[in-house]
Structure 1
Amino acid sequence: MIYPIVAYGDPVLKAKAQDIPQDFPDLKKLVENMYDTMYNAHGVGLAAPQIGKSIRLFVIDSAPFEEDEEKKATAVKKAFINPQILKEEGEEWAFEEGCLSIPGVREDVYRPAIVTIRYLDEEWQEHEDVFDGLVARIIQHEYDHIEGILFTDHLSGLKKRLIKGKLTKISKGDVDADYRMKFPVKR
């Protein structure tokens, strides 16, 4: 099942998500659907709040960032359940980020180069891993989503003012995306 992506302005994107209990119904199916939704929208990461579910879950697949086939084979494809970032370290570096919930907006965001994260997989096995580079960035971006933080929250006041009009249009449904979206309820 491919879910519509929740657009900027929906309160679910600004709420801190809740932990997932072990008896959560059909979790493996939800993870599978999230991958399908992410691939359908040509993304490299997707957090549950982006499909309207305020739970601590995100999926990533770094393969689209890899240029050669050898590196694609070692790309990171994982689901992160109830993740907890333990440490962010290394020099902060800029990269132009975008977001499926904010189509058409891309801006440089500075993030630390290395992240240490503890999480559960779909079998409820606990892992503690260290990631760097683009994979660390994808994880940090998706982790922000389950904390109620958007990449635009990392921008300077001036940058936020410059994109305010675009964000308002997105929240009103005045945006072109090549995937289904769900817009905030208009009052």
Structure 2
Amino acid sequence: MAEEAHGQVVEPSERLDPETRARREAALKLVRKYGDPVLRSRALEINHFDEALREEVRRMGRLMHDAYGIGLAATQVGKMHRLLVYRTELEGSIAALVNPVLEWASKDKETSEEGCLSLPGVAVEVERPVHVRVSALDEYGKPILIEASGLEARVIQHEMDHLDGVLILDRASRDQRKQAMKTLREQLEPQTA
């Protein structure tokens, strides 16, 4: 999920210094983009909690940070694991959820604009429950229970969707989906100089 400010996706490239912009562009090249079949696949449960998993969490956290994202699912980097990392503030600490399960979602819903690192240039309105309870494991295999509201709940739900092969396009209106597809096609066309 891309950086959000008051429910709006922020494209930070214009305000970054050249070194940070280059680091962001390099990170974004490592994120799988729309059309990659891994983004439509259901990730598998994680059963081994070892140093390799903890390194994957650290690597995903750095990639998310460098890409100016606030959430990243393992499938977005080509790993078929039920693992996601997120944070709700750009410089906030990174949380990891392994094998997350939605235990409860409020009836109260809110519509807000979402972007996605795997769908560059696309932002669509998505309706989601305002409050959720999610059970998961941390990267050491310890059970955790997250009760989240607002942006944190939205980010967790967005990344959990990725683990099931669901994209924000699937939750958008028909008109928004058509516009998003047009944007994605334009980006995939060869650039003429």
Band of TM-score, shorter chain:
0.7 to 0.9
* Correspondence list, 1:88-127, <5 A: 88-127=105-144
CA distance in 1, matches of 2:173, 2:143: 36
SS of residue paired to 1:46: strand
Other-structure match for 1:50: 76
CA deviation vs aligned residue, 1:61-103 (integer Å, no higher than 9, x gap): 1113xxxxxxx7xx56310001111111141111110000111
Identical residues among aligned pairs (%): 35
Provide the C-alpha distance between the structure 2 equivalents of 1:143 and 1:23, rounded to a whole number of angstroms: 19
Residue 159 (structure 2) aligns with: 142
Determine which of 13, 36, 41 is the counterpart of 1:15.
Answer: 41
Please state which structure has a larger fraction of its residues in helix. 2
Aligned equivalents of 2:189, 2:46: Cα separation in 1: 30
How many residues were matched structurally? Answer: 165
Residue 130 of structure 2: SS of its match in structure 1?
A: strand
Structure 1 runs of 4+ with >3 Å offset: 172-175
1:129 deviation in Å? 2.1
Q: Alpha carbon RMSD of aligned pairs, Å?
A: 2.1
More contact order relative to length (CA 8 Å, sep ≥ 6): 1
Q: Secondary structure at the match of 2:106?
A: strand
Matched residue of 1:62: which SS? coil
The question of whether the paired residues in 1 share the 8 Å contact of 2:61 and 2:94 is answered with no
Deviation of 1:163 (Å): 2.0
- Say yes or no: does 1:165 pair with 2:182: yes
Question: SS where residue 101 of structure 2 aligns?
Answer: strand
Give the alignment's TM-score, normalised by structure 2: 0.79
Change (3 A) 1:167 1:22: same
**Residues 91 and 40 (structure 1 numbering): CA distance in 2 closer, same or farther, change over 3 Å?**
same
- Residue number in structure 2 paired with 1:30: 56
Contact 1:76 1:135 in 2 (8 A): no
Q: Which runs of 5+ in 1 are unaligned?
A: 65-71, 176-187
Deviation string, structure 1 residues 113-151 (Cα, Å, up to 9, x no partner): 011101000111011221111000000000000010011
Moved more, 119-128 or 23-32: 23-32
Q: 2:96 aligns with which of 79, 87, 107?
A: 79
Give the letter aligned to residue 113 of structure 1: V
**Displacement of 1:173:** 7.2
TM (norm. structure 1) is 0.81
Give the 3-state SS of the residue equivalent to 1:81 in structure 2: strand
* Contact preservation (8 Å) 1:34, 1:59: yes
Larger CA deviation: 119-128 vs 153-162: 153-162
